[in-house]
Amino acid sequence: MPVYPRCGVRPVRGEGVYLFGEHGEKYLDFASGIAVNCLGHGHPKLVEAIAKQAATLMHVSNLYGSPQGEQFAQRLVDNSFADTVFFTNSGAEAVECAIKTARRHHFANGNPQRHTLITFNNAFHGRTIGTISATNQPKMRDGFEPLLPGFRYAPFNDLAAALALVDDTTAGFLVETIQGEGGVTAGTDEFLQGLRKACDEHGLLLILDEVQCGYGRTGKMWAYEHAGITPDIMSVAKGIGGGFPLGACLATEEAANGMIAGTHGSTYGGNPLAMAAGEAVLDVITKDGFLDHVASMGERLRSALEQLIPNHDTVFDSVRGRGLMTGIKLKDDAVAREFVAHARDNHGLLTVAAGENVVRILPPLVIEESHVAEFVERLSDAARTYVPVIAE
């Protein structure tokens, strides 16, 4: 199925912060597989853990329980708001699990009519029927109808509009703490705190989608920490496996009270190999000083980008995001998708286009100062040589 547009890069090997193409081309990877390769490519701890586990036990059915899954789940609980964890293979499945957990919570509490989630314009939650139903974007939904009922949409960061949608059928809110695909837009503290308060007052559930913004990317373990709140349910993926396909739905015991044995499942979710990968990543990112390193690299990158803008003020507009989840918004005459292709093909720089004409910068969390300097230099060259394609 040719659902992915072709581009000029075909990486065949990765090493640290670099990717190499089939003809030896070298790319500075500030995309990280879209926020996945948080330890870069070929991190020895991750490679070793996967190899060791593959030789010991690659897969076993959840029917027999999973000591590896229990151990990793406990470590996630110890490092988050959550009491309980369900493992998945992707972000979309983690969001699906979050939606099911919320519906089932109200069902178990005798309120089955509370099945509708309020979600937000410009969101991205995945590509399954459930998760595209949770988005309000025609480009993801057209031709896939009928979609799942049970979602209503409000403008992002508009608390009053979201609260105005709450009625007797509302189960809660589903929101990215920082919108990634939508354009690296952080939920404001007032917005996120307001949603939390409304949930507390009306018995609703706050579901945060931290598939892209969680797991150390912002310089804190979870993006919600910046707003001083906690969710009831949270979807996680991408960085959690460092490149191994892994996701998780985390929840408080109360929010997950309807998810009892037999209600949900996954053949591969919590597979020993995925758990070994997850633990190896967690070992690294919970090491003393690691998150401070991410925060300081994020600040360094941000200030370097801010200094760059005046020199290229026909291309760059402003910097957004937190930590190493950074975006640079382009001026109206420039086009993010075109600029990303130009930087890739002519300057060996990998970034990702996002909504609102933003170039997303999502480097591995292990970058050093020298990588930031190299990135900014190449980005500056790319801006200097970029010529927008003027539509006829």
- Residue 81 vs 386, nearer CB to ligand PMP: 81
Three-state SS letters, the chain: CCCCCCCCCCEEEEEECEEEECCCCEEEECCHHHHCCCCCECCHHHHHHHHHHHHHCCCCCHHHCCHHHHHHHHHHHHCCCCCEEEEECCHHHHHHHHHHHHHHHHHHCCCCCCCEEEEECCCCCCCCHHHHHCCCCHHHHCCCCCCCCCEEEECCCCHHHHHHCCCCCEEEEEEECEECCCCCEECCHHHHHHHHHHHHHHCCEEEEECCCCCCCCCCCCCHHHHHCCCCCEEEECHHHHECECCEEEEECCCCCCCCCCCCCCCCCCCCHHHHHHHHHHHHHHCCCCHHHHHHHHHHHHHHHHHHHHHHHCCCEEEEEEECCEEEEEECCCCCHHHHHHHHHHHHCEECEEECCCEEEECCCCCCCHHHHHHHHHHHHHHHHHCCCCCCC
User: Which residue out of 173, 238, 316, 329 is catalytically annotated?
Assistant: 238
**Does residue 192 touch ligand PMP according to CB under 6 A?**
no
372 is in an annotated binding site: no
- Residue 126 vs 348, nearer CB to ligand PMP: 126
Q: Does the CA dihedral 69-35-214-41 come out positive or negative?
A: positive
**Contacts to ligand PMP from residues 88-107, by CB under 6 A:** 90-92, 95
124 is in an annotated binding site: yes
Minimum distance from residue 210 beta carbon to ligand PMP (Å): 7
**Does residue 84 touch ligand PMP according to CB under 6 A?**
no
Minimum distance from residue 215 beta carbon to ligand PMP (Å): 12
- Residue 29 vs 176, nearer CB to ligand PMP: 176
Q: Quick check: is 124 catalytic?
A: yes
Q: Which tokens in the block code for residue 82? A: 């959550």
Q: Which tokens in the block code for residue 270? A: 């919590």
266 is in an annotated binding site: yes
Which residues in 102-122 are b (16+ Cβ under 10 Å) and which e?
bbbbbbeeeeeebbbbbbbbb
40 is in an annotated binding site: no
- Residue 95 vs 372, nearer CB to ligand PMP: 95
Q: In this structure, how many other beta carbons lie within 10 angstroms of the beta carbon of residue 131?
A: 27
Minimum distance from residue 131 beta carbon to ligand PMP (Å): 7
Minimum distance from residue 26 beta carbon to ligand PMP (Å): 26
- Residue 68 vs 90, nearer CB to ligand PMP: 90
Q: Quick check: is 158 catalytic?
A: no
Give the range of 6-14, 123-131, 304-312, 378-386 binding ligand PMP by CB under 6 A.
123-131
Residue whose C-beta lies closest to ligand PMP? 91
267 is in an annotated binding site: yes
209 is in an annotated binding site: yes
With CB under 6 A as the contact rule, the residue among 33, 69, 172, 180 that binds ligand PMP is 180
**Does residue 181 touch ligand PMP according to CB under 6 A?**
yes
Minimum distance from residue 180 beta carbon to ligand PMP (Å): 4
Minimum distance from residue 150 beta carbon to ligand PMP (Å): 18
- Residue 87 vs 316, nearer CB to ligand PMP: 87
User: Which residue out of 81, 87, 124, 316 is catalytically annotated?
Assistant: 124
Q: Quick check: is 244 catalytic?
A: no
Residue 73, CA distances (Å) to 177, 247, 267 in order: 22, 12, 17
Minimum distance from residue 110 beta carbon to ligand PMP (Å): 31
With CB under 6 A as the contact rule, the residue among 114, 125, 217, 371 that binds ligand PMP is 125
Using CB under 6 A as the criterion, which residues of the chain lie in contact with ligand PMP when the complex forms?
34, 90-92, 95, 124-126, 176, 180-181, 209, 211-212, 237
Annotated binding-site residue numbers for pyridoxal 5'-phosphate: 91-92, 124, 209-212, 267
Residues belonging to the active site: 124, 209, 238
| Binding site per annotation, positions | 91-92, 124, 127, 209-212, 266-267
